[in-house]
Structure 1
Amino acid sequence: MSLPAGTRAQLADLLRGARVILLDFDGPVAHLFAGPSAPDVADAVRRFATVRGVDLSDIHTDDPLVLLRAAYRHSSESGRDVEAHVIEHETRAAAVAAPTSGAHELIRAATSTGRTVLIVSNNSERAIRTYLARHDLTDHVAHIIGRPFGHPEQMKPDPHLLNAALDITRAAPTQAVFVGDSITDAIAGSAAGVPCIGYAKKPDRAEGLADADALVVVDDMHTLATALR
């Protein structure tokens, strides 16, 4: 995606005014299920839930987090059991996850220019820490705001995680920028008042991100790293 001159200027303005960079994890930073695939993990979660008396066979999705939400609707106890199982899969996946091209450069560019980087994700903190440690990025990320265990209602698109990040950094929403790759990310950013940059890893994702109020949409994280520098 080649950005028009006006869009490049808008992106530069967004990043120039941001002292806090908030990044979604799966997509903008890493392809979490590049090893064990998301459909394979979803099937494993269904089997695990079935053994514990929770039938998720009618939930047609390849997203393990959609199944996690469904398990909590069955009961809090079932949800916690399924979530613990999902965390194990996320953490194993993080140990072999493929970096998103340009993401590590973006993180290092942000810290080298005096900005604070936080990961704000529906994935578990444990998985994210595993990935960051593996790639020597732990010291470049000030905080990880992961999925609060036992509280699926606080996952994006709810703005809870973004608001928590703002509280930790004592930043006004306009002093932050949130980079996300999903419509739920853009909705959460809008609800928290944080300008959102959409990362469209697939061409058909760009229009949906723009419709969900992402102010700028890019298809290459190198674009953001370059703009920060």
Structure 2
Amino acid sequence: MTLPTGTRTQLADLLRGARVLLLDFDGPVAHLFAGHPAPEVAAAVRQFATVHGIDLSETRTDDPLVLLRAAYRHSPESGRDVEAHVIEHETRAATVAEPTPGAHELIRTAIATGHTVLIVSNNSERAIRTYLARHDLTEQVAQIVGRPFGHPEQMKPDPHLLHAALDIARAAPSDAVFIGDSITDALAGTAAGVPCIGYAKQPERAEGLADADALVVVDDMHTLATALRP
């Protein structure tokens, strides 16, 4: 995606004008389920749920986090059991997850230009921490704000995680910019008052992010690293 000159300027102004960079994890930083595919994880979660008497048959999805939400609707105890199982799979996936091209460059460029970087994700902190350790990024990320165990209602699009990240960074919404790849990310950013940059690998995703009020949409994380450089 070649950005018009005005959009490139807007992107640079957004990134350089923020002292805090908030990053979603699965998508903008890594392809979490690249080596441990989400449909396989979903199938394993369904099997686990069936063995434990949790009926997820009406939830037709290959997204493990959608199944997690459904388990909590079954009962809080069922939800916690399923979530613990999901965390095991997320962490296993993190041991073989592939970096999103340009993401590590963006993180290191952000640190070099005086930004504070936090990861704000619906994935588990344990999985994210495993990935960062594999790639020597632990010290680059000030904090991980992951899915709060037992509280699926606090996952994006609810702004709770973004508010928590801002509190940790002692930042106002206008001091930050949030980079996400889903409509739920853009909605959470809007609800928290944080400007959102969308990352979209597919054109249809780009349209959805723009419709959800992402201020700029890019298809390459290298673009963001370049925009951050003086």
**Which range, TM-score by smaller chain?**
over 0.9
Instruction: For 2:117 and 2:203, locate their aligned partners in 1 and report how far apart those are by CA, in whole Å.
Output: 27
Structure 1 segment 132-143 matched on structure 2, within 5 A: 132-143=132-143
Residue of structure 2 in register with 1:32 after alignment: 32
Which letter maps to 1:207?
E
Mark the runs of 5 or more structure 2 residues left unpaired by the alignment: none
Structure 1 segment 40-189 matched on structure 2, within 5 A: 40-189=40-189
Runs of 4+ with deviation above 4 angstroms: none
Instruction: For 2:117 and 2:201, locate their aligned partners in 1 and report how far apart those are by CA, in whole Å.
Output: 21
Residue of structure 2 in register with 1:22 after alignment: 22
The aligned length equals 229
Output one character per residue of 1:81-138: Cα deviation in whole Å (capped at 9) or x when no partner.
Answer: 0000000000000000000000000000000111000000000000000000000000
Mark the runs of 5 or more structure 1 residues left unpaired by the alignment: none
Give the C-alpha shift of residue 222 in structure 1: 0.2
Output one character per residue of 1:5-32: Cα deviation in whole Å (capped at 9) or x when no partner.
Answer: 1110110110121000000000000000
TM-score by length of 2: 0.99
Which letter maps to 1:42?
A
Of all paired residues, the percent bearing the same amino acid is 85
Give the C-alpha shift of residue 36 in structure 1: 1.1
Instruction: For 1:90 and 1:112, locate their aligned partners in 2 and report how far apart those are by CA, in whole Å.
Output: 30
Which letter maps to 1:137?
L
SS of the equivalent of 2:149 reads coil
